[in-house]
Structure 1
Amino acid sequence: MVKKQLIMDKALELFSEQGFEATSVQQITERCGISKGAFYLSFKSKDELILALIDYFMMQITADIDQSVRSCSNEEELLYVFYFTTFRSFSKHSAFAKMFLKEQTQTFNEELISKHDYYDSHINESILYILDQLYGEQIEETKYDLLICIKGFIQIYSALYLRFNLPLDIDSLTKSLVEKTALLAEHSTIPFISGDIIRIIKEPIHEQVTTEHIAALIEQKIDDIENPIEQESLQILKDNLFKTNTSLAITKGLLENIKNNPQCKWISYLIREYYQL
């Protein structure tokens, strides 16, 4: 196992058991069976390790949700696909979700809050896309209230499952939430969310989706990719970011080449957002 991944895996175990504050670097290194020097070769601090964990899992969850929603060809199934993928991802990464849920009841520093808001904004975009596809102008006045309700459903039901270790029938839960969301969409008429709040909700997603940011992420990943086709596809995608006449058809083909590599999920997601594919 790669040492950096080993540190992240063992740290996640400790954070889940004890929380961020109560876990020391010494405890992490003891759980890993490595020296403190080896730890600091991978991470400058415990805070940097925490941010790396949040990045790793939120990239997986957010990209899974977006890919499932965007590839759904039947509009009537969009809400089902969204809810099902969301709860399946939370279930798959339940150790991380439990840790994150526990820490949300404590004080996050500014960088952690910013990191949470960044990924939260991407999920907002997926939800708004679904609502626009399903209901269009019918919910123009209330769609941001619906956005908050959908996220509330996810948070509340996830908390029930994670805190009390309830058995999770994802299919039944998904169908129940699809029904509830449809009722709200069809019968809600009084909007509450203001224009100012809308701007706050939508603004953070665009902060880092730039050519320079995506190129830097590709540069970080490209040497870790062993498959030559995936590696070459990443290089071409990076080069194309700085061209004015990039072919979207070629870009889609290159994304197909890397879509099954877990290390490329977030890059694929950002490129789709960048080109609005």
Structure 2
Amino acid sequence: MSKRDLIIEKSMEILSERTIASTSIQDITNACGISKGAFYLSFKSKEELLIAIFEYIIKDMTSKFQSILSLQVAPKEKLTQYFVLAFELFEKNSTFISTHFRELVTIVDQDVTEKIQKHFLIADNMTLLLLREAYSSQIEDSQFDLLICIRGLMKGYAEFIVFQKQPIDYYELSKLLVNRIDILVNANLKTLITKEMYEQKNRHISHIQKNDIIVEIENCKEDYVNDSFTIDTFDLIIEELQSEHPRKALLLGMSSNLKTNNHLRWLSVLLKQFCDEM
């Protein structure tokens, strides 16, 4: 684990019970067993750390969602497992999110907002892939309406779980959600949210660019200086991305290799998304 990830994970533990204002950098460095100088090599301030934690949570969730796509199960069971994972991850992070979301809103700028929105767009694309696999041509016109409906259903149940603190069987809840989606699909209702409307909303958010992946690789390299195989993999990916016509099959192969490493799953997601958009 890199020093940056260590700081993030230890800070999440501390900040799940305290505000950012009541937590000193000394508290964080003591928990990590590092010096203040080491902290400032990774983060300029507590505010920058808070932004990094939220991004870390979103990356972790999106990386784990990616693993659902390759499950060898029936499409609707895959969709069910996707919802189960979403509720489990929400429960795991709900205390931190509810405590610090307002603090985050007050400190983010436009660049950070767009970066976070890009992560959510990747998650949306995964949901759409699962829906298309489960319902095929039935949802050609309604898939974006369904996406909005699913967000609303999940948000409502998530709020109930947090505030009512009732024990919930996430698998049974997720099967119920899939049943609700079945009803919406088969009802053949008039579509409101079209593909054009959805894409217009996200047009200002750029797709995954080659440079996004190269920057991510450069950020990862220092943690693998003694792992020649991984460093060679990084170099091969960069070389391929910088070529005039990157080979999709090769990049997808590299993505599959990377996803076996928990700390490189986000890089794998970026590569897969880039290939899907080629």
TM-score w.r.t. structure 1 length? 0.83
- The one-letter amino acid paired with 2:276 is Q
SS in 2 for 1:131: helix
Q: Is the contact between residue 81 and residue 171 of structure 2 (CA under 8 Å) also seen in structure 1?
A: no
- The equivalent residue for 1:214 is 213
Partner of residue 87, structure 1: 87
- 3-state DSSP class of the match of 1:224? helix
Q: 2:172 maps to which residue?
A: 172
Unpaired stretches in structure 1, ≥5 consecutive residues: none
Question: What's the secondary structure of 1:116's corresponding residue?
Answer: helix
Deviation, 1:191, is 2.7
Give the counterpart letter for 1:126 in structure 2: M
Q: Which amino acid aligns with 1:103?
A: H
Tell me the CA shift for residue 215 of structure 1: 0.9
- Correspondence 1:83-232 to 2 at 5 A: 83-91=83-91, 94=92, 96-104=93-101, 107-111=105-109, 113-193=113-193, 197-203=197-203, 206-207=206-207, 209-225=208-224, 226-232=226-232
Using a 3 Å threshold, how does the CA distance of structure 1 residues 230 and 33 change in structure 2: closer, same or farther? closer
Would the alpha carbon gap of residues 149 and 101 (structure 1) be closer, same or farther in structure 2, given more than 3 Å must change?
farther
Q: 1:177 to 1:262 in 2, by over 3 A?
A: same
Alignment of 1:21-60 (within 5 A): 21-29=21-29, 31-32=31-32, 35-60=35-60
What aligned pairs does 1:215-254 form with structure 2 within 5 A after superposition? Answer: 215-225=214-224, 226-254=226-254
User: Distance between the aligned counterparts of 1:22 and 1:115, measured in 2?
Assistant: 27
- Cα deviation for residue 240 of structure 1 reads 0.7
Alignment gaps of 5+ in structure 2? none
Give the drift of 1:204.
5.7
Corresponding residue for residue 266 of structure 2: 266
Q: Assess, with a 3 A threshold, how the Cα gap between structure 1 residues 262 and 115 changes in structure 2: closer, same or farther.
A: same
Range with bigger deviation, 21-30 or 173-182: 21-30
Aligned residue for 1:244, secondary structure, equals coil
1:200 Cα deviation after fit: 4.2
CA contact (8 A) 2:6 2:32 kept: yes
Partners in 1 of 2:164 and 2:26 — Cα distance?
31
Residue 61 to residue 20, structure 1, CA distance change in 2 (3 Å): same
Q: Distance in 1 between matches of 2:247 and 2:118?
A: 29
CA displacement, residues 67-96 of structure 1 (integer Å, 9 cap, x when unaligned)? 3124556333332132123223334xx1x3
Q: Deviations over 1:171-198 (max 9, x none)?
A: 2122111111211222150333366641
**Distance of 2:18 and 2:159 partners within structure 1:** 18
Provide the aligned length of Structure 1 versus Structure 2: 273
Q: Which amino acid aligns with 1:100?
A: I
User: For residues 134 and 50 of structure 2, what CA distance do their matches in structure 1 show?
Assistant: 37
SS in 1 for 2:16: helix
Q: Percent identity?
A: 27
TM-score computed with the length of structure 2 as normaliser: 0.83
The alpha-carbon deviation at position 124 of structure 1 amounts to 1.1
Letter in 2 for 1:60: D
Aligned partner letter, 1:268: S
State the SS of the aligned residue for 1:130. Answer: helix
**Paired amino acid for 1:185:** V
Distance 1:115 1:165, change over 3 A: farther
Q: In structure 2, do the counterparts of structure 1 residues 220 and 31 end up closer, same or farther at CA, with 3 Å as the change threshold?
A: closer
Read off the aligned partner of 2:155 and give its amino acid letter: Q
